[in-house]
Amino acid sequence: MNTRKLIWLPLALAVVACGSDGGPPGEQPQMPPTEVNVAQVVSREITEWDEFNGRFAAVDAVQIRPRVQGYLTRIAFEEGSEVKKGDLLFEIDEREYRAALARSEAEISRARTRVTLAERDVERGRKLVEARAMSREEWDQKSSELEQAKADVNAMVAASAQARLNVEFARIAAPIDGRVGRALITAGNLVDPGSVLTTLVSLDPIYVEFEGDERTYLRYQGLARSGDRPSSRDARNPVRVGLADEQGFPHVGEMDFVDNQLDPATGTIRARAVLENDQRLFTPGLFARVQLIGSAKHPAILIHDQAILTDQDRKYVYVVGPGNTAQRKDVQPGNSVDGLRIITSGLDASDKVVVNGMRKIFFPGAPLNPIDVPMDAPNTVVAAAEGTAVTGGGL
């Protein structure tokens, strides 16, 4: 056998027994502490808000239809513009209706002339009856003719009033303030009371309509019975609204209506809130994210969503345990409040949660080098030497 091989074999075994770091035999190599950002859990009183999806809707929406038949002669508005109540929108050829008005006024004059003549006949007849020169039956006949002439006058006055209305109806004005749509019928066409000429929707205030599920409705009913939160049927509970391209819920409104029954097909109940829209930020039909106050004030523990990890169907976080080691705690997340997540179980007010660097923790008990950051800024990078904080990247 080769003498050189016999000499090197014991030396190789000795190196393996001592470990790669040259330490004593049997000692495991030590992992360096993992540098992570940690934040103290936030413990304070909160009010929870429930979130729904909805749509904006006009308080008043009108289909503009003519009340009389005729040829459309003029469109007096700019399509898509705002109009005021009473502004002229359409004109219908009114000459036929003005002729009917003149004819009815002439009929009134004729009927009044007959009344005057009948009154004279009745007066003369009364004197003749007293002189026994006319029978009572003839005088009664003349009195009846007078009453008939007066009734004819009333009928002619009513017909004249209708003719005057038809003249007014030939000019179609805006019934409300709002934004007018496009003209659905152009000038020169024959229109009648069944024709839709355009649409008009009000803008300020504006509704936001949404639906809540049966479980949420029952919870609200329970809160109302216990006095922790008034029913939106009895109180104008606050709502917060955000558009699809906005962060958070910057707009504030109040509840206006809750329907009287749930839809058995969907298991939901329709609700409605009202908001001011003097800046014209909202348009009927827009998608809306809606938050409705969902609880009374109560103490809660809050953490950032970034700290929450998932293990199959369980949620958990890492907290700083004894000796600056990673300790796993299973948690039950709740609703979101002001950018933080409510933790309904699993954490204590004294816990410090790992909010950045969790992916570098490979097992519970791993040593940590914790760096304190604010809970609402988990990606802050702290320069240890200078002690300054700078907003950094993600995990």
Instruction: Tell me the one-letter amino acid at 124.
Output: R
Nearest one of 68, 296, 287, 260 to 162, comparing CA atoms: 68
Residue 348 has which token pair? 């204590």
The mean per-residue pLDDT over the stretch 206-226 comes to 93
What are the Cα distances from residue 112, in Å, to 74, 103, 120?
A: 38, 14, 13
Confidence label for 9 from pLDDT (cuts 50, 70 and 90): very low
Number of helices (H), then strands (E), belonging to the chain: the values are 4, 25
The CATH number for 52-90+173-296, chosen from 2.40.30.170, 2.130.10.10, 3.40.50.300, 1.10.3470.10, is: 2.40.30.170
Q: Is the pLDDT of residue 360 over 60?
A: yes
In angstroms, how far is CA 236 from the centroid of its own chain?
A: 15
The CATH number for 94-169, chosen from 2.60.40.420, 1.10.287.470, 1.10.3720.10, 3.30.420.10, is: 1.10.287.470
Question: pLDDT tens digits for 117-175?
Answer: 777 776 766 766 666 766 767 766 767 777 787 887 788 888 888 889 999 999 999 99
Query: What stretch of H or E contains 114?
Result: helix 95-130
Architecture of domain 34-47+299-391: Beta Barrel (2.40)
Confidence label for 104 from pLDDT (cuts 50, 70 and 90): confident
Order of strands, sheet of 70-75, starting from the edge strand that comes earlier in the sequence = 171-173, 88-92, 70-75, 190-191
Q: Is the pLDDT of residue 217 over 90?
A: yes
Q: Is the pLDDT of residue 40 over 80?
A: yes
121-125, 197-201, 239-243, 323-327: least confidently modelled range: 121-125
- Secondary structure of 7-42 in the HEC alphabet? HHHHHHHHHHHHCCCCCCCCCCCCCCCEEEEEEECE
% of the chain with per-residue pLDDT over 70: 84
Question: pLDDT tens digits for 51-61?
Answer: 999 999 999 99
Order of strands, sheet of 61-64, starting from the edge strand that comes earlier in the sequence = 61-64, 198-201, 178-180, 82-83
Q: Is the pLDDT of residue 22 over 50?
A: no
Nearest one of 176, 172, 188 to 68, comparing CA atoms: 172
CB proximity list for 351: less than 8 A, separation 6 or greater = 40, 41, 319, 320, 329
**Measured distance CA(378)–CA(200) in Å, rounded:** 49
What are the Cα distances from residue 185, in Å, to 84, 93, 133, 189, 345?
A: 21, 15, 70, 7, 63
**Measured distance CA(25)–CA(385) in Å, rounded:** 38
The mean per-residue pLDDT over the stretch 104-109 comes to 84
31 vs 359, higher pLDDT = 359
Question: Taking all residues of the chain, what is their mean pLDDT, rounded to a whole number?
Answer: 83
Q: Is the pLDDT of residue 390 over 70?
A: no
**Measured distance CA(274)–CA(120) in Å, rounded:** 67
Instruction: Write down the domain spans for the chain.
Output: 34-47+299-391, 52-90+173-296, 94-169
**Measured distance CA(60)–CA(63) in Å, rounded:** 10
